[in-house]
Structure 1
Amino acid sequence: MQFDIRPVTVPERLGTPESADFEAYTETTAVVEESVWGHRRFAYDAAQLLPMFRDDRYTGRQALAAWEGERCIGRADVLWEQGDGARTAEITVGVVPDARGRGLGSELLRRAERHARDAGREVFTGYSDIPLSSLELPGPRLEAPDGTGSMPTAALGASFATRHGYRLAQLERVSGLAVTGRLDEFRALLAERLAGRGAAAAGYRLTGWTDHAPDELLDSLAVAHASMATDVPAGGLTVDEEVWDAARVRAGELRAVDGERTTLVQAAIAPDGSVAGYTELSLPSNSASAFQWDTIVLGPHRGHGLGMLLKLGNLVRLGETAPDHTDVFTWNADENEHMLAINIALGFTLRGMSAEWQRDGDAGSAGTGATSGS
């Protein structure tokens, strides 16, 4: 098979001749996502992706696309933290089903890793998704370094990752929650928790907002965002520190709005007025699904039941402000027993897993476990 791999030019706007390659690359990403999960709910569309590519102040990003004639048949992304001392790059690769098995994935990954090295990164990570239907495939299994989870080596992406020198560094559970008709239930649970002897009695309070954080919370919210990189279970992954300040928080908010995503945030405020923890729900304009992104309670404030309060508070806000969203999806490290227990208590059920892979230094040839991604 003859194919041409070239960088994807980031356009000023969509719907122009200059944006055709970017839009084709985005559609290929969605095709790959659908081939794994059976739906496109986890795929970003071009309008959602464009603001992420256009703002490289805090994270660098490069997309590559593979072409067979005029058809885009594969893609790769390289994502890296811009801060001093950062060592890692995340590489995501996808090849459309009818073009797999001909060496295109390996070539995409070789090019992507070369770009990562040129950006000064020496540790490469990637992921592969395992839908629920594939979790119990017969044959040998790989054990996660932390937690109790394992995955079949026959799962899509696993043989690709190990063949290219990657090791399984972490397993994440992909969970879903149906929320339609549960608003009164969530309100009652929240009221019961607030009336207890936990967080409220210790002087904590909840506050929420949509898209734009209150100015007075920006500095402590930035501290909480930075903690998301280093204070959550990472298994065997190398994780770079992230430098956050008020400007970076505002930049993230603007990217979400520009990408047609509404963000519901619920924060726990400590007695001194600082952010003790927060949680986010991302609501794409083109989907009936909501996505649970960050949830963290900072170390000094743990032990008061804030995690459950935060999630309940945001589920109530979701039901009140966006009742057309029918379900919530979330990703959690398999070893994160506390957060998983909260999710299970709320009714989240397992929908699949994501395997996180890592290759250190220059050992072996280029590759990741990703045959899907967004």
Structure 2
Amino acid sequence: MKFLLVLCVVSAGLLGGCATAELRGSGDLGVVIEREAGSVLIVNTTRIAVLSRITELGDLSHASVVFSRDQRYAYVFGRDGGLSKIDLLQDKLEKRIVQAGNSIGGAISQDGRWIAVSNYTPGGVKIFAADTLEQIADIPASYGEGLLSKVVGLADASDQRFVFSLFDADQIWVANLHNPQAPQIQKFSQIGKQPYDALLTPDGRYYLAGLFGETGLAKLDLWQPEAGVNRVLPDYGAHEEKLPVYKMPHLQGWTASGDWLFVPAVGQHEVLVIDKHTWQLLKRIPVAGQPVFVTARPDGRQVWVNFALPDNQLVQVIDVKDLSVSKTLQPGKAVLHMEFSPRGETVWLAIRDDNRVAVYDTETLSEIGQLPADKPSGIFFSARANQLGL
């Protein structure tokens, strides 16, 4: 009884009263983007439940999210340049600023102190204090007299670094934030035409930028950046007809399984399997359409793939053991995003045109739950706080 009384008092002090307080673990939470409404749902990933809705977050048509290292706060990056800090434990918007005219995403530093935002307009990266959202530094993506590049593929790396690509300048930059007020920038030029997105391997060693203007990928070894940027699969698809690209593939995510990388092919109905030791193409896996997200289950046994129009009602599951599609699912109209629970027993699918989120058991590949959501897109769980590059 004494323990319950103390718990009630503590709860009252933190959340405003024992009768209304809901104790929750931050590691059990996540957010779902409601893109057209400019809102996010705070969800419980174990109970498959919506806890609250946070509104007035601006243009979330291309929103992404990172989490504080204690998993209490979610930082939402909006397309309109908005940066919002949400308290997941108190269901409230802590602060929102508009830091640019057109933003494409962001990252949080290794120590959790700094938030970086990549911008299209004006082109560059801005750094903010995670606690106050005060601007600390501005890194214009200058590549010529009066020219600023759109910035894509921003990822947090070890040793207090951010890595990002310049779409218009064909460059990769590494920003060292040991002195956040004056970041040290290392620049790599002529990496390939029009890098459009990038991934960081789970061990944090390799930064891979996909190229839209030519075939292949650009690879930077962050353990030895002095070796420069090397090309991976430079001849892939060079002599094949490319289909119209209805939606750009997304590379950022857990697209690694053991020694293999799984990469969506641009303009092809294929997932590419790359040997991480030799950086050679191991296999081309035919899939149902143009892949957008190619996401590995946390244990690496499965890779789930969703697609651009006209095949975005489908999801395919690749069995990594056999490197082949083992199941084709049709969850609903316009599957935009997928997120695995931290240990991978479930996967959550944002089904935009059905206004719902579907939850699938990854062993039986059957739907076990769903939640209503207004035009859902991105799904992000707080376990990302402990993963590099996410």
**TM-score bracket, shorter-length normalisation:** under 0.3
TM-score by length of 1: 0.26
Normalized per residue, which structure has more helix? 1
Identify the structure with bigger relative contact order (alpha carbons < 8 Å, sequence gap 6+). 1
| TM-score, length-scaled by structure 2 | 0.25
